[in-house]
Structure formats: C-alpha cells, structure tokens
Amino acid sequence: MNSSTRTKATLFCSVCGHESPADGDWDESATATEIGERITLSCPDCATTITRRPVSKRSVDAVVASD
C-alpha cells in the first residue's frame, strides 16, 4: 500500500510489515485482565501482537494504544 493512500487508522506489523486498517484483517481476541477486558489485535501473517485496548474502544475511531 502506498503512503498516499493510507488512512490514519492504518496499523503496521513491525515484524513482517503487514499493514491494514484498524478494522481490517487483524486477528482479534478478547482477554480478561486485572484492569478489565481487553481486545488484542494480532498480525494474520506472523501472529505478532499489534495492540491491546479496552473493549469499550473497539471502534475504528478509537485511539489505538498498546499496553
């Protein structure tokens, strides 16, 4: 994907270079933690964890931040 066509919500895998929108083809799983339920997005190509975020911030408009 060329940088002029990327949206702001594009996530990147630092291991294999896969890129996709936050609501794209990332593998998603839920995990209960001491701070509440979290959603983990992982790379579909190499299984690297890309981000974890609160379940309440599942929308694409949410700020994506890692733990």
Domain definitions of the chain by residue range: 3-57
* Distance separating alpha carbons of residues 2 and 5, to the nearest angstrom: 6
Write out residues in the chain with pLDDT < 70, as ranges: 1-8, 57-67
Closest CA to 50 of 35, 24, 61, 36: 24
Q: State residue 66's pLDDT score.
A: 44
Phi, psi dihedral angles at 56 (to 5 degrees)? -65, -15
Q: State residue 6's pLDDT score.
A: 56
Q: State residue 47's pLDDT score.
A: 96
The length of the chain is: 67
Q: State residue 67's pLDDT score.
A: 40
Q: State residue 26's pLDDT score.
A: 95
